[in-house]
Amino acid sequence: MAETDTAPNAAQEAFWSSGPGQHWVRLHRELDTLHDNLTRIVLEAAQPQPGERVVDIGCGAGAVAIAAGQHVGEAGYVLGLDISAPLIGVGRDRAEAVQICAPDFLVADAQTWAHEGAPFDLCVSRIGLMFFADPIAGFRNILAHLRPGGRLVFAAWAASEHNAWFRIPMELAVARLGPAAPGDPHGPGPTAFADTARVIDLLTEAGAKDISAQTVDTTLEVPEGYKAAAELTQFVGPISRHLRDKGGTDADRAAIHRGVKEAFRRFDDGNGCHIPARVNLFSATRP
C-alpha cells in the first residue's frame, strides 16, 4: 500500500508494483549493471556535494540513491522515492549493507508527494521521470521540494531509433506480428521525454530556471555477453507488450528472441555486450 495518494498515476503504480515492472525487482542486479553508465552520466552532471540533501525520484531498486550517498557522505542525506512498493523494498534491503549515508526510502507518487522535512539541494533521476500522467504537475511538485537554487538533474531515453535496446527487439516483433496500434508518443512511457524541446517547455511551464538539455551517447552493458542481453529483452523492454497486444504465441516469442540474439551478437566483443544507447540529460534549477 503506497504511503501517499497514487490516483493520478494508478496505472503506473499497478505496472511497477504488480505488473510487468515486477521483472525490475527480480532482475535488479542485471538492470543496474545494464544502466551503470547512466548512473555515472547523471551523477557527473549533478555533482552531489558533501553534506547535501538529495532525493532520487523514480529510484526503483535504489542504485543511484545509494551511489549518491557515497558523494554526500555522513553529513548528507539521501531519500529514494518510488511509486512501487516492491522496488522500494529491494532498496531498503540493499541499504542495510550500506556503510556511508544509507538512503531512506519512501513509497510515494512523485507527482503528488507531500514532504514536510527540510528542502532538498538536489533531485536526481535515472530514467525515472517519464511516467507522470501530468509531467508539468510532476516537475512542479519536485521543484517545490527543492531549496531556492536547488538542482534537478535527470536522464531520459532519447528516441528508440538511437537505442538499439528498444529498436532491435521492436523491429523484430513488428516484422513477426505487425505494427503496434498508434499511441501518444508523449504519453507516460520510456521515450516520453525523447523530444528535448518539449521537455524544456514542460520544465519552463513548471517554473524551472537555468534549463538545459543535451544528448549523450553511451552504451548499455551486459558483461555476460549477447545471449544474456537478448534474454533480458524477454522481460524488460517492448517485446512482451507487443506479444500481448498482438496475441503472440510461444513460437512468436521464441522467433523474436532468436532474432534479438543474432542481432545483439555484433555488440559483443568477447568481453561483454556493449549496446549503443542515447539518453537526453536535462538539468534545471528552482528559482
Ligand X SMILES: C[S@@+](CC[C@H](N)C(=O)[O-])C[C@H]1O[C@@H](n2cnc3c(N)ncnc32)[C@H](O)[C@@H]1O
In the bound state with ligand X, the residue whose beta carbon lies nearer, of 177 and 277, is 277
Round to whole Å and give the CA distance between 240 and 232: 11
Q: Considering beta carbons, is residue 31 or 284 the nearer one to ligand X?
A: 31
Least spacing, CB of residue 245 vs ligand X, in Å: 20
- The Cα–Cα gap between 245 and 75 comes to 49
Closest distance to ligand X from the beta carbon of 250 (Å): 27
Question: Which C-beta is closer to ligand X: that of 16 or that of 264?
Answer: 16
Measured from the CB atom, is 23 or 147 closer to ligand X?
23
Q: Measured from the CB atom, is 61 or 153 closer to ligand X?
A: 61
Q: Give the β-pairing of 120-126 and 104-107.
A: unpaired
Are 123 and 55 within 8 A, CB to CB? yes
The residue ranges that bind ligand X (CB under 6 A) are 9, 12, 16, 31, 35, 58-61, 63, 82-84, 87, 109-111, 126-128, 131-132
CB within 8 Å of 233: residues ≥ 6 apart: 165, 169, 239, 257, 260
236 forms beta bridges with: none
- Nearest residue to ligand X on Cβ basis: 60
Q: In whole angstroms, how close is the CB of 2 to ligand X at the nearest point?
A: 9
Q: How far is the CB of 12 from ligand X (least distance, A)?
A: 4
Q: Decide whether 273 or 279 has the Cβ nearer to ligand X.
A: 279
DSSP state of 180: P
Calpha distance 154→259 (Å, rounded): 33
CB of 258 to ligand X, least distance (A): 26
Which value, to the nearest 10 degrees, does the dihedral of the CA atoms of residues 66, 70, 71, 72 take?
80
CA distance 272 to 267: 8
d(CA 220, CA 204): 31
Q: How far is the CB of 116 from ligand X (least distance, A)?
A: 18
Q: How far is the CB of 242 from ligand X (least distance, A)?
A: 18
- CB nearer to ligand X: pick between 72 and 81: 81
- DSSP code per residue over 83-117: S-HHHHHHHHHHHTT--SSPPEEEE--TTT----S
